[in-house]
Amino acid sequence: MTLNYLAQLVGTTPQTIQRLETGNMTVSLDWLTKIASAFGTSAAALLVTDATASVPVIGELMGNGNVSPLSDTQTLSMVVAAPNPVAVRVTEPISNFDVDTMLLGNRIEFDPDLLFDERNCLVGFRSGRVVFRRVTINTDGVVLGSFAVRGFSEDAVDEIEWVAPVLMAVVYF
């Protein structure tokens, strides 16, 4: 199915469909419902996959919000409704997350035209550094918030390479 054809079925432009497809625009429930209708299925069916993903664990989340890279490659195998999932293991309590909680996010290339308010995100910088912050991206710019931890300094927004809004927290008992 072409972008043009899907756009006609949904009642929008091909450019909007492309932005939705590439993650440059937030997919709301309304958009999911319209697209699902065009495919003759439910919105839930677009979000669920039967495939188990091998999610790379990119590091350990410290209490100061910094992610310490792992010395060896680790993965987490589970069903995740994200095209590019990444995970970190909490090693010190931070925000509302306890030790050993796995935080899973969907890694997307950073684009200041993304719009969302106050989302817990893993943020990757060109230097390779990864941090966990409460992120807001709006028409006024990008705000990387802290969790009121000592030693926090504002990160350089223009150095952000990717963001991974946290989709789920897996808690082991």
Query: pLDDT value at position 59?
Result: 94
Of 24-33, 144-153, 162-171, the poorest mean pLDDT is in 144-153
- The tens digit of pLDDT for each residue in 75-107 reads 888 877 778 899 999 999 888 889 999 999 999
Query: pLDDT value at position 148?
Result: 38
How much of the chain, in percent, has pLDDT values that exceed 90? 24
What's the CATH superfamily of 53-170?
Umud Fragment, subunit A (2.10.109.10)
Q: What is the pTM of this model?
A: 0.63
Domain ranges of the chain: 3-47, 53-170
Helix (H, G, I), strand (E, B) or coil at 67: strand
Query: Rounded to whole angstroms, how far apart are CA atoms 62 and 79?
Result: 26
Q: Are 124 and 130 in contact (CB under 8 A)?
A: yes
Residue labelled with tokens 């504002």: 154
Query: Rounded to whole angstroms, how far apart are CA atoms 59 and 35?
Result: 35
Phi, psi (rounded to 5 degrees) for 57: -90, 110
